[in-house]
Amino acid sequence: MAHPTVKLNRVINNTVEKLVINTVRCLGVDLTQEHTGGHPGTVMGAAAIGVALWRFAMRYNPKDPDWFNRDRFVLSAGHACLFQYIHLHLAGYDAWTADQLKTYHNPDFGMAAGHPEIEFPGIEVTTGPLGQGIANAVGLAIAAKNLAATYNKPGFNIVDHKIWCFTGDGCLQEGVGQEALSLAGHLRLDNFIVIYDDNQVTVDGSIANCFTDDSSAKIAANGFHVIEVQDGTNDLPAILEALDEAKTIEGKPIFVHIRTVIGYGSHRANSGAAHGQPLGVEEVEYVKGVFGFDPRVKCHIPDEVYEYFRPVVARGHEDEEQWKTLYMKYAEAYPAEYAEIQQRLTGTLPDGWRELLPTKSELPTVEQPTRKSSGIAVTTLVPKFKQFVAGSADLLESTFVSFPNQVEFQHPDTGLGDYSGRQIRYGIREFAMIGISNGMSAYQNGMFIPICSTFFQFWLYAAPAARMSALQGLRIIGIGTHDSIGIGEDGPTHQPIALASFYRSLPNYNFIRPADAEECMGAWEIALDSPHTPSLFALSRQPVPLHEHSDRSKIKLGAYPIFSTSSDDSCPQLIIISSGSEVTRSIEAAKRLGDELTLRVRVVSMPSQAHFDKQSYEYRDFVLGNGKALVVAIEAWSSYGWARYAHASLSMHTFGQSAPQATLYEIFGFGVDNIVAKVKAWVDSKTLDGEVVLPRLGQFEELLLDYVNPHKH
């Protein structure tokens, strides 16, 4: 049977409630003023909402912040983090001491970061860039629904918690927030409760200057059940009634629209000045006087306030103990499912997954796009392991993330699938797709491995969320297909030229461009061996051969010799570095250059610059010729970054064009004949009296500057 929730006394004592709420407000003004930084306004205006959430509405155990069946809270309006920190302290989280609260904007920084960070107890995801928290919360809700549909049994609702998301005016203006809310409404996620702190103010002042949407009507049109509270600043009973109702709604996500007064109690109330800066010493003293506090005493928390929150700890302990009892009975009744959950809680795949991937001898020998080769890993692994949730932004077939016997994640009543499904159609919502996947990945110790796919160029739409994946250390596996001018007739709007530069420079990110099917297997191994690092594979639309000397085990090295014109490859005179589909052209050119120049030519496949940079100096020096070889890079992207490894490059210097992919490679100078001619002329220019003279630092040359789009000015 499902476990009950311990009910706390809902009798409202106006005197005590006012003291608690006003204590939160005074802490907000004191802590922002202490080190002259931060956001006091929302703490002051939304204090009653915080009390309603942490004292009454949410089910959690402050003494065990990672309890599996806890409610999750996401502060999408991350600038209001002090609102969350104060309530974590009052609720009894051991880590959130009074001293930790005082590290807010403190030069001796601690846990109270300027925006919530995932590393600390009670913080589910890192928020800050507005709107992304909404997407994260949708991901958490999807994860919970999927687990419940997969593992709950009659009488054993071991997963039955809620996802709470606190948002403000800014989050609802951001496109990613609207993308995520739209999808949540379509999926009918009734475990997802959005609290809209509608204070009508942002940094620039009144939102009347830029935003006059009827948010309740708009969100209702998205499929949400809407509840409205007119005075969320002080009417705690009305807030509690709204949140109680929210928890009973079935078949729709819930939008609780609460109107508040930002900076309540100060002369700056209802203004932008209350949003993102301390109030000033005199105004702080004024506010504390208004609320009956001694202006001279800082950060005072009366004993009555601690006493008011004390029952939360007992409730949380009892809730968790009841759940543990249920879970142990579940283990006896359903040992296979219990073992599977426990294994997933480790955050790793079961032993033996690597051996499931086909060996090189088992891979197709016919030429095929690397997007299709990556699909081999998807169809091999995803059906076997429930950790994987694979999705696409309207490109399932193009990105090869479909898998046998897939079930779509959909509300069961639609007839399109059910909540146990692990194939997600994100629609044309690239940004939200990654933000939602971040929430899934963060749900509980890597229980989920989201796979997200779209054309590589549209990972530009997704880039802000991909950056947050890396910052938080969340394992997302990204598929970016149609990765170059080889996309062909779709034209320059779809042909990525400079995007790789961003992903290559992003810390804690596996950006990998494999050259063939074997390297694709190595890319998947890296992604699955990286529990705290997201990955993105740039994959070709055009077919490439399976190279004789490609080696999945060397992908983790970032770069390795893949071809040589000489049986003795220890002392190459010319090195060509490439990635992806250009490796094939480089090998073809190397064969001819070796004959025509009578030089020892080595081709290096460099699928990952970041992994190469982590290798020993000795290995990197060996790959790049020990400082005795001319090195040229060939890649149909921008040359940015190649000067670290090469003396020259054949790279793109304009946008692409709409034409067949084979034609485009010729037009922009990547035909094998032109590669040979350009490299040969460059080598000749570096030869003096029969000896090659290596260029000095700063003499990097672009060998295709004369190749411009013939149909563009």
Specify the pLDDT at position 12: 56
The answer, yes or no, to whether residue 711 has pLDDT greater than 80, is no
Average pLDDT over residues 589-599: 93
Last residue of a domain, one of 320, 337, 365: 320
Q: Is residue 485 part of a domain?
A: yes
Strand order in the sheet with 225-229: 72-75, 163-167, 192-198, 254-259, 225-229
Specify the pLDDT at position 47: 98
User: 641: buried, middle or exposed (CB in 10 Å: 19+, 13-18, 0-12)?
Assistant: middle
Specify the pLDDT at position 708: 74
Last residue of a domain, one of 296, 320, 344: 320
Task: For residue 146, give the nearest of 384, 341, 339 by alpha carbon.
Answer: 341
Task: For residue 439, give the nearest of 18, 665, 688, 144 by alpha carbon.
Answer: 144
Specify the pLDDT at position 710: 64
| Same structural domain, 516 and 572 | no
| Same structural domain, 514 and 603 | no
Last residue of a domain, one of 538, 572, 590: 538
Average pLDDT over residues 651-672: 94
H helix or E strand, kind and range, residue 633:
strand 630-634
| Same structural domain, 296 and 436 | no
Place of tokens 């922009």: 668
Summarize the annotated binding site for thiamine diphosphate as residue ranges.
Answer: 79, 128-130, 170, 199, 275, 458
The answer, yes or no, to whether residue 364 has pLDDT greater than 60, is yes
Q: Is residue 544 part of a domain?
A: no
| Same structural domain, 373 and 497 | yes
| Same structural domain, 575 and 693 | yes
What is the full DSSP assignment across 97-131?
Answer: -HHHHTTTT-SS--S--SS--TTSTT--S---STT
What is the full DSSP assignment across 651-685?
Answer: ---S---SS-HHHHHHHTT-SHHHHHHHHHHHHHH
| Same structural domain, 491 and 619 | no
| pLDDT tier at 8, thresholds 50, 70, 90 | very low
Contact indicator for 551, 493 with CB cutoff of 8 Å: no
The answer, yes or no, to whether residue 245 has pLDDT greater than 70, is yes
Summarize the annotated binding site for substrate as residue ranges.
Answer: 39, 275, 371, 398, 482, 490, 494, 541
Q: How many angstroms separate the Cα of 407 from the Cα of each of 415, 420, 459, 667?
A: 11, 8, 25, 44
The answer, yes or no, to whether residue 1 has pLDDT greater than 50, is no
Number of domains the chain is built from:
3
Specify the pLDDT at position 511: 98
Task: Find the domain containing 622 and state its range.
Answer: 558-702
pLDDT in tens, 135-173: 999 999 999 999 999 999 999 999 999 999 999 999 999
| Same structural domain, 401 and 310 | no
Of how many residues is the chain composed? 713
What is the full DSSP assignment across 695-709?
Answer: PPTT--EETTTT---
* Candidate list 117, 174, 320, 430, residue with the active-site label: 430
Average pLDDT over residues 576-592: 98
CATH label of the domain that carries residue 612: 3.40.50.920
| Same structural domain, 111 and 49 | yes
Summarize the annotated binding site for Mg(2+) as residue ranges.
Answer: 169, 199, 201
Which residues, at least 6 apart from 93, have a Cβ–Cβ distance to it below 8 Å? Answer: 62, 65, 121, 122
Place of tokens 């959690």: 60
pLDDT in tens, 284-305: 999 999 999 999 999 999 999 9
Q: Is residue 329 part of a domain?
A: no
| Same structural domain, 201 and 312 | yes
Provide the token pair at 327: 């879970």
| Same structural domain, 576 and 448 | no
The answer, yes or no, to whether residue 687 has pLDDT greater than 90, is no
pLDDT in tens, 323-337: 999 999 999 999 999
Which residues, at least 6 apart from 662, have a Cβ–Cβ distance to it below 8 Å? Answer: none
Average pLDDT over residues 356-376: 97
The answer, yes or no, to whether residue 446 has pLDDT greater than 80, is yes
Place of tokens 């610059």: 609
Q: Is residue 100 part of a domain?
A: yes
- The percent of residues above 90 in pLDDT, for the chain, comes to 89
CATH label of the domain that carries residue 426: 3.40.50.970
What is the full DSSP assignment across 156-221?
Answer: B------EEEEE-HHHHHSHHHHHHHHHHHHHT-TTEEEEEEE--EETTEEGGGT----HHHHHHH
Q: Give the Cα separation of 2 and 326 in Å (integer).
A: 8
Specify the pLDDT at position 4: 37
Q: Is residue 335 part of a domain?
A: no
Q: What are phi and psi of 318, to 5 degrees?
A: -65, -40
Q: Give the Cα separation of 468 and 139 in Å (integer).
A: 14
Average pLDDT over residues 1-27: 71
Q: Is residue 347 part of a domain?
A: no
The answer, yes or no, to whether residue 616 has pLDDT greater than 80, is yes
The answer, yes or no, to whether residue 458 has pLDDT greater than 70, is yes
Q: Give the Cα separation of 498 and 644 in Å (integer).
A: 17
pLDDT in tens, 88-98: 999 999 999 99
| pLDDT tier at 421, thresholds 50, 70, 90 | very high
Q: What are phi and psi of 227, to 5 degrees?
A: -125, 135
pLDDT in tens, 367-376: 999 999 999 9
Indicate the average pLDDT of the chain.
95
| pLDDT tier at 6, thresholds 50, 70, 90 | very low
Summarize the annotated binding site as residue ranges.
Answer: 39, 79, 128-130, 169-170, 199, 201, 275, 371, 398, 458, 482, 490, 494, 541
**Strand 225-229 with 163-167, pairing:** unpaired
Average pLDDT over residues 250-270: 96
CA 643, chain centre distance (Å): 30
Specify the pLDDT at position 258: 98
Q: Is residue 346 part of a domain?
A: no
Helix, strand counts (H, E) of the chain = 26, 21
Q: Give the Cα separation of 152 and 154 in Å (integer).
A: 7
| Same structural domain, 467 and 431 | yes
Contacts by 612-619 with C-beta closer than 8 Å and gap 24+?
612/557, 612/558, 612/559, 612/645, 613/558, 614/558, 615/557, 615/558, 619/557
Q: How many angstroms separate the Cα of 652 from the Cα of each of 144, 213, 542, 605?
A: 45, 44, 18, 19
The answer, yes or no, to whether residue 7 has pLDDT greater than 90, is no
Single pTM value for the model: 0.96
User: 214: buried, middle or exposed (CB in 10 Å: 19+, 13-18, 0-12)?
Assistant: exposed
Provide the token pair at 459: 């990972």
Specify the pLDDT at position 2: 38
Q: Is 430 among the residues known to form the active site? A: yes
| pLDDT tier at 307, thresholds 50, 70, 90 | very high
Which residues, at least 6 apart from 225, have a Cβ–Cβ distance to it below 8 Å? Answer: 246, 249, 252, 253, 254, 255
| Same structural domain, 268 and 366 | no
Task: Kindly state the DSSP code that residue 52 receives in the 8-state scheme.
Answer: I
Provide the token pair at 281: 């010493």
Average pLDDT over residues 486-512: 94
Q: Give the Cα separation of 339 and 336 in Å (integer).
A: 5
Q: Is residue 237 part of a domain?
A: yes
Specify the pLDDT at position 10: 52
Strand order in the sheet with 510-512: 423-425, 388-392, 449-455, 477-481, 535-538, 510-512
Contact indicator for 478, 461 with CB cutoff of 8 Å: no
